[in-house]
Amino acid sequence: MSEAWSFSLADRRSGLYCYGSHGRAVIAADGTRADAALSGEGPFTAAVEGLGEFELEALGAPVIFGQSRRREWICRIRGQSSGYGSVALGAALGDLALRRSLWVCLAGELVVVGLAEAAGASVPHGEEELEVHVARGEPLEPAIVADPRLSSTYDSDGRVLRAGLELWEDETEGERERGGALRLTGERLASAQLDGVSVAFIAWHRSNHTGTGCYAIERAG
């Protein structure tokens, strides 16, 4: 693949939490590092040394982020019905100082994918421009969120501990009057560091629905 890539896998049933990027991987549950590779056009194959190969079947069209043109697919791990993952293709960090990316999957029925990038160190953390897409249906059809808000709490090592999303999908006045934001809260299941990338796997909640996802922070240098 000519583009920079990353993938993440989350399966609470089996305890599988894995993030791979540019030929390296970390198994977040215990911090194990290993070589990784990604191939295919959707379905994708993610190969991790010591774990084997995982087939990732895209659940729908990719989310395409406007400024960076980064493309991200939410996938089901074939053969493990409770497991989901993400595959992202696009430019490497390059001149960017910071990139925060996350995905949420609630039983494959509701998916949230977000990206925030900072072009320079002068942009305060948490004040980057955030772009979020919500996808529903089968196959998934992504739509951009008009007013997304992301809150994060960190531990003493700077890793994400908890996160919250408040997503105003429509900018109409009526939606705000009805309190119609989509709200999700989450807490960390596992985390690790990988060559300038801080990865947290999150258990997400919305009303009586639960799901999993990954929250990755890339920093220059």
Tens-binned pLDDT, residue by residue, of the chain (221 aa): 568 999 999 998 889 999 999 878 888 877 888 999 999 987 999 999 988 899 999 999 999 998 778 999 999 998 766 799 999 999 888 888 889 999 999 976 899 999 998 886 555 555 678 999 999 988 999 999 999 999 999 999 889 999 999 999 987 655 554 558 999 999 999 998 888 899 999 999 998 889 999 999 998 86
Q: How many domains does the chain have?
A: 1
Residue range(s) defining the domain that contains residue 161 = 4-219
> Which neighbouring-strand residues pair with 90?
4
* 3-state helix, strand and coil shares in percent for the chain, rounded to the nearest 5: 0, 60, 35
Angle at 63 between CA 210 and CA 207, to 5 degrees: 20
Report the pLDDT value the prediction gives residue 32, as an integer from 0 to 100: 86
Give Cα 19 distance to the centre of its chain: 10
Can you tell me the distance from the alpha carbon of 78 to that of 89, in angstroms, rounded to the nearest whole number? Answer: 20
The helix (H) or strand (E) run that includes residue 174 is helix 173-177
